[in-house]
Structure formats: C-alpha cells, structure tokens
Amino acid sequence: MQIARVCGYVIGVTLSAKQLAHSIRRRERLIEICRTLPEVTHQVVGDEHIAFRVGKKTFAYYQFDHHGDGKIAFCCKSSLSEQRRLVRDDPESFFVPAYLGSKGWVAIRLDLDEVDWDTVNELARQAFQSIAPRKLAALLEQS
C-alpha cells in the first residue's frame, strides 16, 4: 500500500502512480457531466467518493479505490440486464460494483488509458432519468 495526498487528504491507496496522475482531471470532468443534469447536486462522502443526487435520491457515485479495490470508477444506477450486457461486452471497462451490484448498478472505470466519455455521459443521463421526478426527466428528453 502506498501513502498519497489527494485533494488535501493523506490516504493509503492501492492505486498506481499512473492511475493517480489523471484522477483529479477525470473526477472534475465527471462532475461537469453530472452538473449538466437538471437540479443535480454532488457531495463528497467518505474519503474520496462523491455522491450525485437529484433531490434526496442518489443515482451515481464517483468511487476512488473503494475498499482498496485499486480502481477509480463511476458507479451508477442501471438495470440488471444492462449491467450484465455491459460487463459481458467489455469486462475491462465495466464491472459489478460492491454492495450496489445486486440492485443492477454498474461501474465504468475512469482510470484506464482511454475512457469512453460518451458512454459515461449516457450512463449518467439514464441513471438520472431512472430516479428523477417526471418533470426533470422530461427536460432531458427535450434536449
């Protein structure tokens, strides 16, 4: 385990220097994507995780070395069938997240050399629409 300073925190991480090199920029890009969704808020939870919410409902998380898994990922609400399809089709990029995976949530890695930001954006939109009040969800359908 390494000791690192990330966003002002000193933490023990199992992440490589390569993973850490892009983590702040990629986290900020994820926040920007989620901010484009109507009335979305985000809050740091735990050491380095971020919860994305609409109202009091959480639709996604930014996960940073969750329980020492060595991954930086965007984890979001999905369906079990979509989760299975994504993980089956691209197991390097997608995985079933701990705790939430049994509820159909899926995670996409943000620490790989290439991140498909169009897919991240689409996953965020779908997760948002699945829990947002109808009027807010409809705003996305119009755009």
Tokens 């699945």 belong to which residue? 130
The CB density around residue 14, as the number of other CB atoms within 10 Å, is 13
Strand partners, 51: 43, 61
Instruction: Express each pLDDT in 23-33 by its tens digit.
Output: 889 999 999 99
Domains of the chain by range and CATH?
Answer: 2-142 (3.90.1150.30)
Instruction: Express each pLDDT in 121-138 by its tens digit.
Output: 999 999 999 999 999 888
The two tokens of residue 106 are: 């899926």
Dist. CA 39–CA 11, nearest whole Å: 32
Report the predicted TM-score, pTM, of the whole model to 2 decimal places. 0.85
